[in-house]
């Protein structure tokens, strides 16, 4: 199997994205290690991410945007809208679930949500198909 289901707390970004279902993380070449990892080869879009480098997060030492007094800010609303429309996934909803149920429960649910029912590998949020067998998410 190409991708074992190993979802870690460290793979959940401040904006509520799960790096382990991202195309950049799942690909073989030029693999991105995730938003919270320090990686010199990181795609420039991630390194320059405005949310990751947000002053409010840094200033208040916040782990997630949901803890911010500006939540949900326009920046987050924009990316959330893009993901809801294009990929049927909402970071704001993710963040609210993390708040409600805690990060561990959230990860558990993410595993269920993004595991391919055919082969048990990880479904890519951007492609909507399994990163291993290529079958569509049910």
Task: Name the residues that contact Zn ion, by CB under 5 A.
Answer: 116, 118-119, 121, 130, 132-133
State which residue, 57 or 122, has the beta carbon closest to Zn ion: 122
At closest approach, how far in Å is the CB of 22 from Zn ion? 17
Instruction: Select 62 or 119, whichever has its Cβ closest to Zn ion.
Output: 119
Measuring CA to CA, how many Å separate 50 from each of 20, 24, 39, 113, 127?
20, 18, 17, 27, 24
Closest approach of Cβ 131 to Zn ion, in Å? 8
| Cα–Cα dist 87/119, whole Å | 21
Give the DSSP H or E segment for 24: helix 23-26
The least distance separating Zn ion from the CB of residue 24, rounded to whole angstroms, comes to 19
Residue number with CB closer to Zn ion (21 or 130): 130
Q: How far is the CB of 121 from Zn ion (least distance, A)?
A: 5
For Zn ion, which is the closer residue by CB, 20 or 132? 132
Q: Which two tokens stand for residue 14?
A: 């401040």
CA–CA gap between residue 96 and residue 102 (Å, rounded): 9
The helix-helix angle for 91-101 and 103-114 (nearest 10°) equals 130
């Amino acid at each position: 199997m190409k991708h074992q289901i190993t979802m870690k707390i460290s793979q959940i970004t401040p904006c509520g994205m799960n790096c382990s279902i991202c195309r950049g993380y799942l690909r073989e070449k030029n693999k991105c290690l995730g938003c919270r990892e320090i990686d010199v080869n990181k795609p420039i879009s991630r390194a320059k991410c405005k949310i990751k480098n947000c002053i409010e997060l840094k200033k208040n030492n916040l782990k997630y945007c949901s803890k911010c007094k500006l939540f949900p800010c326009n920046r987050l609303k924009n990316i959330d809208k893009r993901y809801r429309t294009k990929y049927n996934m909402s970071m704001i909803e993710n963040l609210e679930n993390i708040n409600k149920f805690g990060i561990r429960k959230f990860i558990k649910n993410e595993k269920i949500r993004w595991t391919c029912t055919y082969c048990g590998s990880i479904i890519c949020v951007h492609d909507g198909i399994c990163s291993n067998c290529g079958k569509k998410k049910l």
